[in-house]
Amino acid sequence: MAEGKDLLERVGQLIRLRATDCPKEFAEKSEVSERKVYGIIRTMKDMGCPVVYYKGVNMKK
């Protein structure tokens, strides 16, 4: 997967689809490392994005 803008667009798409799952599965879907996912989450929080994670809750409908 491409880095930068393409990656952020893909992350946004997965979030809107509620297809993020746990960080490990999210990393696999995004074709990045799990560490990169945590970096993305940290960056989004630093930018003021409301990042919420419900441990053990399946958000898919």
Q: Is residue 17 part of a domain?
A: yes
Give the residue numbers spanning the domain of 16: 5-46
Q: Is residue 56 part of a domain?
A: no
Q: Is residue 36 part of a domain?
A: yes
Q: What SS3 string covers the chain?
A: CCCCHHHHHHHHHHHHCCCCCCHHHHHHHHCCCHHHHHHHHHHHHHCCCCCCCCCCCCCCC
Q: Is residue 21 part of a domain?
A: yes
Q: What is the pLDDT of residue 35?
A: 92
* 4-59 tens-digit pLDDT: 778 778 777 877 787 777 888 888 887 889 998 888 888 888 989 887 776 665 55
Total tally of structural domains belonging to the chain: 1
Q: Is residue 14 part of a domain?
A: yes
Q: Is residue 15 part of a domain?
A: yes
Q: What is the pLDDT of residue 3?
A: 66
What pTM did the predictor assign?
Answer: 0.66
Amino acid symbol at 53: Y
